[in-house]
Amino acid sequence: MPSTASIRRPRPAALLATALLVAAAAGCGGDSSAATPSPSTSASPSAAAGVLDIRDPWVKAADAGMTAAFGTLVNDGDTDVTITAAATDVSPMELHEMAMRDGTMVMRAKPGGIVVGARSSHVLEPGGDHLMLMNLTRPVRAGDELTVTLTFADGRTQTFTAVAKPFTGAQESYHPGHGTPTAGPSTSPAP
């Protein structure tokens, strides 16, 4: 057995340095799931809520009045999803569609909301279904980013960001005081 004089005892400073190195190494090699998204998480920031994937969302730039938001809604789930409302901080919103009435294409609130079938997609586009922004409280300029919140029939919500773009197509005119647009040339900012 060695004598107590020949046993080397570690210095407190060396013990502290070793402990710090071990802690640093553990931090670098810790739980990687926190830094890496799981396979079920979409890389799209708009799909963070997990209800729908919202691809290429955009809103038509407008100085005043009305405008609309568009994009492709993708439902990767096994059940249909129904959007019943939309909201943004720059105006009230409605879910709209274009439909024939008395031989004329008109814009109207979409009865029953917007349904995105299971394992399918639904396009929101000028001249078709869209999210209508009513009575803008401020101009929406090209390049602006608007936050839109969708509400679903089951009470869930999902928020996404749409970038404003200039767009001159699909001009609709609005009957004063009625809020009922018809297709045709107009100076009103509409989808």
- What torsion do the CA atoms of 121, 124, 125, 126 make, to the nearest 10 degrees? 160
Task: Assess if CATH 2.60.40.1890 describes domain 45-183.
Answer: yes
Per-residue pLDDT of 54-83, as tens digits, reads: 999 999 999 999 999 999 999 999 999 999
For the chain, which residues make up each domain, given as ranges? 45-183
Q: In a 3-state reduction of DSSP, which class is residue 123?
A: strand
Per-residue pLDDT of 128-181, as tens digits, reads: 999 999 999 999 999 999 999 999 999 999 999 999 999 876 554 333 333 444
Q: Cα dihedral sign for 41, 43, 49, 54?
A: negative
Residue 80 region, left (φ>0) first, then alpha (ψ -120 to 50), else beta?
beta
Quick one: DSSP state of residue 17? H
Return the higher-pLDDT residue of 153 and 189: 153
